[in-house]
DNA sequence: TAGATTGTTAATCGATTAACAATC
DNA sequence: TAGATTGTTAATCGATTAACAATC
């Protein structure tokens, strides 16, 4: 069994799963068949203890005295992350950041399909990015009614982010990938990614360094 | 005193500072002069206890029975984050993501100045983005010798990210803002921001939701 | 079997929450 | 003074690290 339903997975563990997935994928691509927690943790910059503790929240993937079979573990983690099924994503807000997200080459590897792009700027509407044509945001409710969308990516200016999210929630979207620096009112799971906050954290750490 | 040197600030606190800064800035822009920990925490989605605990790692900014003076607290946090001085940034890798970062309008508010852009693609070299012309990456060592740069932003393909970072480190850059999904070998502080990892975390949470 | 490495329990460490005396 | 809200200590909770028996 991959996931003992009912058991609470620690948030820290969850945020490390994508990292494990990336490293295992790389090992698998290189044809490496087995790896120990010590070796894998070493590459990732973690500890064997933490790695085993994390994995054991989901099940028993290793073999005593041997380590972990790479391909099997990768497949297990893929399934835990939900990579075994294709998810459809739309993006609202096709400024520079929206463009960059839409052009992100690695969606395919993660089984994400770009289903639609929206903006309000007449100059942008009609433009094709990654084989998808930008539509007017007014079309979104109708589009969502006709298509089951899993992920709604928000890269609008902060002022209109909430409105976009409300529309998405009503339209049956299952989760929000938010790049706008605002707290969103929604019952959906939101994954927040804010460039400014990340940069400020770096700024702080640079400052501490200089103090010494 | 703003920062009792020697005291260790918790990493979780540090990652919340930029959020506090954003909300305080907003309050200040609205002309709000004082705020209690309860009110501010409510807006942010935190708790009064945590907010006070966080702030008290740096000093005493509040007034008993009154709350926090917004403008003063904002200015204190700005200084803690190092926003009182201008920092120069360069970007290496002017693909879609590099373009989006270079066009990010909020650098100014954070006192960040875009000093140079680098790429290796001849088609991109010479292009002007946010008033800065893209140069060939080969020019970087010379540029760094002639200019004191604080932040090196890496938005190259993963294969060449390490090389870029090594060049930056030798050139006297103080911190790395990394968008490439690789573990970097450097003694500099690195702030990592990986779109793919963030998206996978959302994917996992969507999956958990559906299970219920 | 001997060696290696897991799964898991126990010990430590750190972060959050609760409570309240101090004080504006 | 009375009311409000801080700064700070103590209690709780969660996450990481260490250790080792189980076992391939």
Radius of gyration of chain A (CA): 20
Shortest distance, CA A171 to any CA of chain B (angstroms)? 16
Q: Can you give the pLDDT at residue A108?
A: 92
Tens of pLDDT, residue by residue over A109-120, are: 999 999 999 999
Strand partners, B176: B152, B190
CB B130 within 8 A of CB B116: no
CA A177 – CA A154 distance, rounded (Å): 6
CB A172 within 8 A of CB B141: no
In this complex, do B195 and A80 lie within 8 Å of one another by their Cβ atoms? no
Read off the pLDDT of each residue in A85-110 and give the average, rounded to a whole number.
96
Tens of pLDDT, residue by residue over A177-193, are: 999 999 999 999 999 99
B191 close to A (CB below 8 A): yes
CA A20 – CA A42 distance, rounded (Å): 12
Q: Which residue's CA is nearest to the C1' of nucleotide D16?
A: A50
In this complex, do B206 and A87 lie within 8 Å of one another by their Cβ atoms? yes
Tens of pLDDT, residue by residue over A29-38, are: 999 999 999 9
Query: For residue A78, with 0-12 CB atoms within 10 Å meaning exposed, 13-18 middle and 19 or more buried, which class applies?
Result: middle
Q: Can you give the pLDDT at residue A2?
A: 41
A96 close to B (CB below 8 A): yes
Which of B144, B138, B42, B43 is CA-nearest to residue B89? B144
Strand partners, A110: none
Which of B131, B212, B2, B126 is CA-nearest to residue A208? B2
Shortest distance, CA A64 to any CA of chain B (angstroms)? 28
Q: Can you give the pLDDT at residue A211?
A: 76
Nearest by CB to residue A209, choosing from B104, B177, B189, is B189
Half-sphere exposure of B122 (CA within 13 A, CB side): 0
CA A115 – CA A122 distance, rounded (Å): 20
* CA-to-C1' span, B13 to D12 (A): 19
* pLDDT higher than threshold 50 for residue A58: yes
Count of all residues that appear for chain A in the document:
212
The reply to whether A11-81 and A87-196 are identical in fold is no
Domain spans, chain B: 11-81, 87-196
Classify strands A151-154 and A175-178 as parallel, antiparallel or unpaired.
parallel
Q: Can you give the pLDDT at residue B1?
A: 38
Give the global pTM.
0.95
* pLDDT higher than threshold 90 for residue A8: no
B169 close to A (CB below 8 A): no
Phi/psi for B185 (5° steps) reads: -90, 105
Tens of pLDDT, residue by residue over B21-63, are: 999 999 999 999 999 999 999 999 999 999 999 999 999 999 9
* pLDDT higher than threshold 60 for residue A18: yes
| Residue A139 structure tokens | 């079309």
Q: Name residues of chain B where pLDDT drops below 50.
A: 1-5
CATH architecture for residues B87-196: 3-Layer(aba) Sandwich (3.40)
Picking from B6, B149, B154, B199 by the largest number of A CB atoms within 10 A of its own CB, the best residue to mutate is: B199
In this complex, do A206 and B15 lie within 8 Å of one another by their Cβ atoms? no
Phi/psi for A9 (5° steps) reads: -90, 135
Measured CA distances, B73 to A113, A212, B20 (Å)? 45, 25, 10
For domain A11-81, which CATH number applies: 1.10.3720.10, 1.10.4160.10, 3.30.470.20, 1.10.10.10?
1.10.10.10
Q: Can you give the pLDDT at residue B5?
A: 46
Residues of B in contact with A210 (CB under 8 A): 174
């Amino acid at each position: 069994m991959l996931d003992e339903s009912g058991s609470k997975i620690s948030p820290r563990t969850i945020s490390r799963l994508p990292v494990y997935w990336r490293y295992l994928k790389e090992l698998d691509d290189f044809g490496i068949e087995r790896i120990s927690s010590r070796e894998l943790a070493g590459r990732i910059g973690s500890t064997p203890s933490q790695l085993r503790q994390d994995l054991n929240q989901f099940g028993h993937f290793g073999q005593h005295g041997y380590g972990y079979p790479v391909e099997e573990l990768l497949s297990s983690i893929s399934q835990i992350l939900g990579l075994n099924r294709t998810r459809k994503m739309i993006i609202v807000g096709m400024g520079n950041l929206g463009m960059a997200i839409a052009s992100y080459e690695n969606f395919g590897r993660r089984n994400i399909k770009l289903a639609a792009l929206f903006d309000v700027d007449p100059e942008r509407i009609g433009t094709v990015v990654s084989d998808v044509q930008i539509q007017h945001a007014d079309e979104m409710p109708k589009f969502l009614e006709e298509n089951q969308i899993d992920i709604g990516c928000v890269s609008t200016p902060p002022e209109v982010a909430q409105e976009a999210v409300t529309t998405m929630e009503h339209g049956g979207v299952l989760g929000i990938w938010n790049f706008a620096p605002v707290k969103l009112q929604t019952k959906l799971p939101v994954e927040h990614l804010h460039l400014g906050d990340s940069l400020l954290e770096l700024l702080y750490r640079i400052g501490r360094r200089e103090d010494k």
